[in-house]
Amino acid sequence: MTPHLKHLHPYPFEKLAQLKRGITPPGNKEHIALSIGEPAHATPHLIQEALLTHLHGLSKYPTTKGLPELRAAIADWLSRRFNIPSECLDPETQVLPVSGTREALFSFAQCLIDATISDTTACPVVIMPNPFYQIYEGAALLAGAEPYYLNTLEDSGYLPDFDAVPEAIWQRCQLIYICSPGNPTGSVMDRASHEKLLRLAEKYDFVIASDECYSELYEDEANPPPGLLESAYAMGNTAFKRCVVFHSLSKRSNAPGLRSGFVAGDAGILQQYFQYRTYHGSAMPLPSQQASIKAWQDESHVQENRRLYREKFAAVIDILADACEVSKPPAGFYIWLKVPIADTEFTQRLFAQENVTVLPGSFLSREFNGINPGQNHVRIALVAPLNECVEAAQRIKSFINTIESKVKTCCN
């Protein structure tokens, strides 16, 4: 077995299950799960109908590159969404369908990282935000690289501070993962931040992997989050050198079970990644490809999706604001809530008293430079139906008020 396996951390939901083990929540309250970022809104009929219509495609092997019609639909969507001229996006060389971005975010590092350097003091570095989607860390470790955690703190708007990275780390960096809108914070990188990172990538010759899976869930219809390719094009990098973006239908179209996404960007990198994937064996089934074409061509269901999330955010924040400091993030479907006690204790006691499950922030981060940026935060995923989110918010409010009351009593 590869020795890198021993460096992997337990997945956050394994730790959450262990944290809750042995606790019996109140039987008179239905369980409400707000811990997993699994969309629960209905998958649009157009996706379901396309799947059913093309089930005959199951009798054929799909190709790794995917249908030309799917790549064209993706390129057209990228062009419309991110204001990139269509002639600058070649569906043949700059777009590659993937079976959900989770597997692509992981396998991309396995393809890209050159870990042939044996000296551990000079081994390749993969930079990632902290807190983070744990796939980034696992991908780096199993590729034989050293993760470098870039703390995203409240003082910086929960955005990465690239100026805080030492030059010695940039010199060893082969890959950086960024996530905008961020998981779990919902923070959005602006074009200036993209441009700074692009200049660093050119100077130190590393690749940027931009996880943009939450890009279509945002507050302001007139101000959608910018994407890395959009920023690269605006600064003259029209070939998107060193840029690869990852998009998915899971959050955008409420289709996590479809396992459909894509990568796009630098044609030279994607050519090598395509070769890797021909051996990797993760081609998207043909019915899924046909359904994906319909999804990428339609925006009405995405607009309705955003409306539903806005409705839930407004209701939940209105309730919680009476008990704690809380604000709506610019994008995503998470509330990154600061809590008055340790995040693990908060999660345990909330489950024990109110039968509501949230995710401790420290399970999504690592201690780095003496700081665990996830401590004293919990991630609340507003994926349940509106009535359940409202009920959960009322229970969380009651629980926080109980904590505050005990704190005041102890202080007196």
Query: Could you tell me if 138 and 213 lie in one domain?
Result: yes
Same-domain pairing of 294 and 311: no
Same domain for 258 and 316, yes or no, is no
Instruction: For residues 186 and 327, state if they share a domain.
Output: no
Any residues with CB less than 8 A from the CB of 27 and at least 6 apart, and which? none
Domain presence at residue 188: yes
Q: What does the pLDDT read at residue 410? A: 43
* Pair (26, 65) in one structural domain: no
Whether 248 and 335 map to the same domain: the answer is no
CATH of the domain at 140: 3.40.640.10
The pLDDT of residue 409: 44
Residue that is last in its domain, among 268, 298, 328: 298
Residue 48 within a domain: no
In a domain, 30, yes or no: yes
Which residue, 263, 280, 298, sits at the end of a domain?
A: 298
Q: Which pLDDT belongs to residue 281? A: 85
118 lies in some domain: yes
End of a domain among 276, 298, 320?
298
For residue 263, being part of any structural domain is answered with yes
Query: Do 182 and 122 have their domain in common?
Result: yes
Domain of residue 379, CATH code: 3.90.1150.10
Domain span holding position 257: 56-298
How much is the pLDDT for 115?
Answer: 86
Query: Does one domain contain both 262 and 306?
Result: no
Q: Among 22, 62, 6, 73, which Cα is nearest to 295's?
A: 73
Measured between alpha carbons, how far is 160 from 162 in angstroms, rounded to an integer?
A: 6
The reply to whether 412 falls in a domain is: no
Helix ranges (H only) for 219-336 are 228-234, 249-252, 267-280, 286-297, 300-320
Distance, in Å, from the CA atom of 233 to the CA atom of 239, rounded to the nearest integer, reads: 8
Tokens of 183: 């998981």
Helices 101-112 and 267-280 meet at what angle, rounded to 10? 100
Nearest to 152 by CA among 176, 174, 182: 182
Q: Mark whether 256 and 307 lie in a shared domain.
A: no
Residues 146 and 79 in one domain: yes
Q: Note whether 184 and 267 are same-domain residues.
A: yes
Q: With the C-alpha atoms ordered 153, 155, 158, 161, is the resulting torsion angle positive or negative? A: negative
DSSP 156: G
With respect to residue 153, please indicate whether it lies within any of the assigned structural domains: yes
If asked whether residues 102 and 174 sit together in one domain, one would say yes
- Quick one: residue 335, left, alpha or beta (phi over 0 = left, psi -120 to 50 = alpha)? beta
The reply to whether 222 falls in a domain is yes
Mean pLDDT by 10 residues, the chain (412 residues): 91 96 96 95 96 93 96 98 96 97 96 78 92 97 97 94 96 98 97 98 98 97 97 97 98 96 98 95 94 98 97 98 94 97 98 98 96 96 97 98 66 40
Q: How many domains does the chain have?
A: 2
